Amino acid sequence: MKEDDCMEIKIRKAGREDTECYLAFLHDIKNAMVQGDWFYLDPDEDTREMMAEGSMQLWFAQMQDRIAGVFSIIVPGKKSFNLGCDLGFDEEMLSRVVHMDTAAVHPDFRGHDLQHRMMMAAEEELRAIGGRILLCTIHPDNRYSVQNVLKQGYTIEKKLEKYGGSIRYILRKDLP
């Protein structure tokens, strides 16, 4: 891919009809990873259910018909998997949490700031609602993602075991 090809990569909000494409993309990325434990995937059925109920939203980075990257957010409400529970949030704070959940970029498109661009597209929509607490988890050894998110104004709040035994940072950013 040439440097100026990045200009052709568009970020779009995806819909429920894109769920299976999203899942297939994530599985392809995970299967190609050397460090598979860096990348936790929710069970496919959980993803389908969250998309159907509207608690998950998707963004795609696309160059024409080719998917370059995907990003999802989850609004967990007061469910037990809310990362705010790990941080000791009260009920009011838990109700404001949004998980900046899964970001994946195809190897052919890495180095074009797509993770950042997709997260900013989601954040722009969340700013309109206001008062949100953005939380995400990242494996500490995934330096690229950690640095990317820190540059966006997140802070590391906690390091703990998640997802069946893998160590993760929980990072936070408050939206006014």
Long-range contact pairs involving 20-23 (C-beta distance under 8 Å, separation at least 24): 21/67, 22/47, 22/58, 22/60, 22/70, 22/72, 23/47, 23/48
Dump pLDDT digits (tens) for 13-35.
Answer: 999 999 999 999 999 999 988 77
- Burial class of residue 85 (count of CB atoms within 10 Å of its CB; 0-12, 13-18, 19+): middle
The span from the CA of 26 to the CA of 109, in Å, is 15
What is the pLDDT at residue 130?
87
User: In this structure, what CATH number is given to the domain that contains residue 57?
Assistant: 3.40.630.30
In the chain, the number of structural domains is 1
The span from the CA of 16 to the CA of 63, in Å, is 20
Q: Is residue 6 over pLDDT 90? A: no
Q: What is the pTM of this model?
A: 0.91
Domain that holds residue 110: 3-174
